[in-house]
A = this chain, B = another copy of it.
């Protein structure tokens, strides 16, 4: 079972919290990029590290136990803010903003140095991370969560770091199973194709 937390928060509260924490997350994303790419000397690294450790200590003076989870406001707003793909409070998330259109879901996003595998290119596993999320989003409605059953990825060529597009749509439904397919693309076209089966967990079938 999963712990979906209901917070005593209005939509205004949610917006206020997002206004506090999202800029912090964006600053940490910048820091991640700088940490990978910096060539400053040991002394400068030590000064930066001291500032980072001070910031971490401040933030840890009051924190939740364990991970963020998925919280809901009293107005029904879903707050998957710790999610590694879409979380507005997770600096590891690019983050993707998943949008809906007539045929399914899509996201346009940027992947920089933090997502590298082969030099200058997106790690094949990051393509899988993004596509698992997008295919799952195509299969899921808010009322009926679905989890990945199987997913298959075909890599047509390497994906350059930079501005990317991912999309997915439902291809078939069969009881508790929803079949979706989609792809990742850079500005020269499709780089990775995916298909998946997403399953409504037993505890979510009522």
A contacts, CB < 8 Å to B: 2-5, 20-21, 23-25, 27-28, 30-32, 34-40, 42, 44-45, 47-49, 51-56, 58-64, 66-70, 81-85, 87, 89-92, 112-121, 123-126, 128-133, 136, 145, 147-155, 158, 161
How many angstroms from the CA of A119 to the CA of B6 in the assembled complex? Answer: 13
Do A38 and B66 form a contact, CB below 8 Å, given A32-B92, A92-B32? Answer: no
Closest beta carbon of chain B to A82's beta carbon, Å: 5
The reply to whether B68 and A3 contact each other, CB–CB distance below 8 Å, is no
Closest beta carbon of chain B to A133's beta carbon, Å: 5
A55 is contacted by which of B4, B52, B112 (Cβ under 8 Å)? B52
The reply to whether A52 and B28 contact each other, CB–CB distance below 8 Å, is yes
How many angstroms from the CA of A59 to the CA of B84 in the assembled complex? Answer: 25
How many angstroms from the CA of A84 to the CA of B122 in the assembled complex? Answer: 9
A125 is contacted by which of B27, B34, B61, B85 (Cβ under 8 Å)? B85
The reply to whether B40 and A35 contact each other, CB–CB distance below 8 Å, is no
The reply to whether B58 and A47 contact each other, CB–CB distance below 8 Å, is yes
